[in-house]
Structure 1
Amino acid sequence: MNFDIAPTSPIPIYRQIVEQVRRLAASGQLMPGDELPSVRAVAQHHAINPMTVSKAYSLLEAEGLLARRRGLGMVIADAQPASTPQDKAAMLQPALQAAAQMARQLGIAPADALKLFEQCINTSSAKEHHD
């Protein structure tokens, strides 16, 4: 498992990690007991400070999404409430609101923006099947 880290994003790197783990757990792509990569492995892979990764994991542990297992590192906690479609939509909504604002500012028609969004989804899905 690798995280998508965008170093130039205005979103802090630890927050990018937290949000990705939340989304992957909510979608069922990470299941209870699944192991996350070690702090050191993530830090080395992305050339980031290990304390950044540790902060993200600690926040997720504090909210109960991750559990620390001796000898295994961090794993998805056993007791996860099922994510409803409304929960998932709530996770997506801030990004869509930002994209909608950007489309309005650029003068892109709603139909064209929706078409572009659909292309992005399809491109992303095709890329994931090849990885």
Structure 2
Amino acid sequence: MGIDFLPDKPIYQQLIERITGDIIRGTLQPGEKLPSVREYAVEVGVNANTMQRVYKELEQMEITETKRGQGSFVTEDVKKIAALRGEVKNQLVTSFIQSVEALGFTTDEMVHDLQKRGGGND
């Protein structure tokens, strides 16, 4: 299948973001088994060493855990997943604010437009 990767960001980081996004969205559930390194590498069209790095980084972030002889699993620690969700949200908000401020928009302008598009959340 393969994925179209962005040229300006390392592939392993894009894969980490993809997997953490799946966890945040609930596509991957707490305790769910991840495909093997080789299976995932073939699925997304990358080298197995790249995928091994992704799994290692996710484990260091305590988002996944490896069970010897069984494979890698999404953490069952829902507090850790909630914290990940909060971190990602804060990164997105910060990036958004920096982008709009760089273009000269005010916070009030952006809040107004976001509330208009919010579908009744105003």
Identify the TM-score tier after normalising by the shorter chain.
0.5 to 0.7
Q: Percent identity?
A: 24
Matched ranges for 1:54-65 at <5 A: 54-65=52-63
Let me know the Cα RMSD of the aligned residues. Answer: 3.9
Q: So what's the TM-score if we normalise by structure 2?
A: 0.62
Change (3 A) 1:116 1:72: farther
Gaps of 5+ in 2: none
Residue correspondences, number: 118
Query: Residue in 2 aligned with 1:129?
Result: none
Output the CA distance in 1 between the equivalents of 2:4 and 2:115.
20
Gaps of 5+ in 1: 123-131
Please identify the structure whose Cα radius of gyration is greater: 2
Task: Give the deviation of 1:50 after TM superposition.
Answer: 1.7
Q: Does 1:75 align with 2:73?
A: yes
Output the CA distance in 2 between the equivalents of 1:50 and 1:40.
6
Task: Give the deviation of 1:76 after TM superposition.
Answer: 1.6
**Is the 1:27–1:83 contact (alpha carbons within 8 Å) kept by the matching residues of 2?**
no
**Is the 1:60–1:66 contact (alpha carbons within 8 Å) kept by the matching residues of 2?**
yes
Query: Residue in 1 aligned with 2:16?
Result: 18
Task: Give the deviation of 1:71 after TM superposition.
Answer: 5.7
- Report the AA paired with residue 86 of structure 2: A
Q: Does 1:106 align with 2:103?
A: yes
